[in-house]
């Protein structure tokens, strides 16, 4: 897991300030998985402690090859060792987490995750 005070999108000029002390046991978090091989990013959110969610991602890469993160890190020139993780925000109520995740997917132009979030209609209207 990377420690930083700001995180910049690799697909846009947008960045987000990280204002909380977050750790692997933090729950109700919004996170970014970044591929060090190609700089692709995925925004996600979890109600569970992040370490549980990330362990699920790692397991999925091995056992569920059709999921977006799995497909990405199973490419020939990629591996799960290419992962950097950033915990971005926390302490939203769970319904706000999904809204905030969607907003950040929209602003970051997240490239691994196939679900464009609930704000995808805004992107298509402003394009």
Mean pLDDT by 10 residues, the chain (127 residues): 82 87 90 93 91 94 89 91 91 74 84 61 48
Distance, CA of 52 to CA of 47 (rounded, Å): 10
**pLDDT (0 to 100) of residue 121:** 46
Q: How many CB atoms lie within 10 A of CB 25?
A: 9
58: Cα separation from own chain's centroid: 14
**pLDDT (0 to 100) of residue 114:** 61
Distance, CA of 81 to CA of 84 (rounded, Å): 9
The strand pair at 41-46 and 83-90 is best described as unpaired
- Per CATH, the number for 6-122 is 3.40.1440.10
Q: Are 44 and 58 in contact (CB under 8 A)?
A: no
**pLDDT (0 to 100) of residue 111:** 73
**pLDDT (0 to 100) of residue 125:** 44
The strand pair at 41-46 and 15-17 is best described as unpaired
């Amino acid at each position: 897991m990377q420690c930083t005070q700001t995180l910049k999108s690799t697909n846009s000029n947008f960045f987000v300030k990280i204002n909380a002390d977050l750790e692997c046991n933090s729950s109700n978090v919004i996170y970014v998985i970044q591929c060090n091989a190609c700089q692709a990013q995925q925004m996600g959110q979890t109600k569970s402690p992040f370490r549980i969610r990330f362990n699920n991602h790692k397991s999925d890469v091995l056992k569920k090859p059709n999921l977006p993160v799995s497909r990405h890190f199973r490419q020939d020139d990629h591996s799960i060792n290419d992962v950097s993780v950033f915990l971005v925000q926390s302490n939203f109520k769970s319904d706000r987490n999904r809204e905030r995740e969607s907003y950040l997917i929209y602003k970051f132009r997240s490239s691994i995750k196939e679900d464009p979030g609930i704000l995808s209609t805004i992107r298509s209207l402003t394009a």
